[in-house]
A and B are shown apart, each in its own frame.
Chain A
Amino acid sequence: AQTVTQSQPEMSVQEAETVTLSCTYDTSESDYYLFWYKQPPSRQMILVIRQEAYKQQNATENRFSVNFQKAAKSFSLKISDSQLGDAAMYFCAYRISTQGGSEKLVFGKGTKLTVNP
């Protein structure tokens, strides 16, 4: 069964510094999608970044980038120049899909990120 593990329940970073959140997953598939979602205190789930497994290039979105290591089944999120607004719960997610068109996301338990001024 596909599982997603986030080993850091909490992390903190100083404003303007860089922080890396870890995620590992378990799968026997060769083609899949991985995502990072952010959940601020408002509880809205916001898509931060996506990575397609067949792409060797790591995804980047402005200050957010990933380090995707397919063989190690590792998918970490790097936040550069951290801002106070980055404080949130961050969830790593894996998309399970089938030929029949069924899809679902499996989430890790989340990492709570605190940004210190």
Chain B
Amino acid sequence: DSGVTQTPKHLITATGQRVTLRCSPRSGDLSVYWYQQSLDQGLQFLIQYYNGEERAKGNILERFSAQQFPDLHSELNLSSLELGDSALYFCASSPYHRGEQYFGPGTRLTVT
């Protein structure tokens, strides 16, 4: 158990819908990262937050957004969902200046 929690574990929704994925980092970790894992794209970095501020952005679609709240949990919002958004979405957190990232169990999103 990495200490990073993600909810829900599974999500099945229809095209055009909007969903919210939730992540709680390890106790004391200020940085939160979101990654997408799909069969064709592999593991792709989406976005990083540090203590409530956006720090880095990857190939995140405009239909996707995220935020980190004062209690350090983070949410990833996916809207106008398409079939191609079906993937495993990971949240990770890291201790400051340590380098490594600890991953949550992931949320499997299926868009039908």
How big is the A interface, by class?
20 to 34
Question: Does A56 interact with chain B (Cβ within 8 Å)?
Answer: no
CB distance from A87 to the nearest CB of B (A): 19
How big is the B interface, by class?
20 to 34
Question: Does B64 interact with chain A (Cβ within 8 Å)?
Answer: no
Question: Does B88 interact with chain A (Cβ within 8 Å)?
Answer: yes
By beta carbon, the residue of chain A nearest B58 is A104
A59-95 at interface with B (beta carbon < 8 Å): 91, 95
B42 contacts which of A50, A95, A101, A109 (Cβ < 8 Å)?
A: A109
A43-B88, A102-B55 given; A107·B43 CB < 8 A: yes
Q: Are B55 and A103 in contact (CB under 8 A)?
A: yes
CB distance from B15 to the nearest CB of A (A): 24
Question: Does A19 interact with chain B (Cβ within 8 Å)?
Answer: no
Q: Are A101 and B58 in contact (CB under 8 A)?
A: no
B48 contacts which of A35, A42, A46, A103 (Cβ < 8 Å)?
A: A103
A47 contacts which of B88, B102, B108 (Cβ < 8 Å)?
A: B102
Q: Which residues of B contact A33 (CB under 8 A)?
A: 99-100
By beta carbon, the residue of chain B nearest A47 is B100
Q: Are B48 and A91 in contact (CB under 8 A)?
A: no
Q: Which residues of B contact A52 (CB under 8 A)?
A: 99
CB distance from B105 to the nearest CB of A (A): 5
Q: B78-104 interface mask toward A, CB cutoff 8 Å, 1 = contact, 0 = none?
A: 000000000010101010000111110
By beta carbon, the residue of chain B nearest A32 is B99
Question: Does A11 interact with chain B (Cβ within 8 Å)?
Answer: no
Q: Which residues of A contact B103 (CB under 8 A)?
A: 37, 44-47
Question: Does B68 interact with chain A (Cβ within 8 Å)?
Answer: no
Q: Are A104 and B48 in contact (CB under 8 A)?
A: yes
Q: Are B90 and A106 in contact (CB under 8 A)?
A: no
Residues in chain B within 8 A of chain A (CB atoms): 2, 31, 33, 35, 42-43, 45, 48, 50, 55-56, 58, 88, 90, 92, 94, 99-103, 105-106, 108
21 contacts between A and B (CB under 8 A): A33-B99, A33-B100, A43-B88, A43-B105, A45-B90, A46-B2, A47-B101, A95-B99, A98-B56, A100-B55, A101-B55, A102-B55, A102-B56, A103-B33, A103-B55, A104-B33, A104-B45, A104-B56, A105-B35, A105-B45, A107-B42
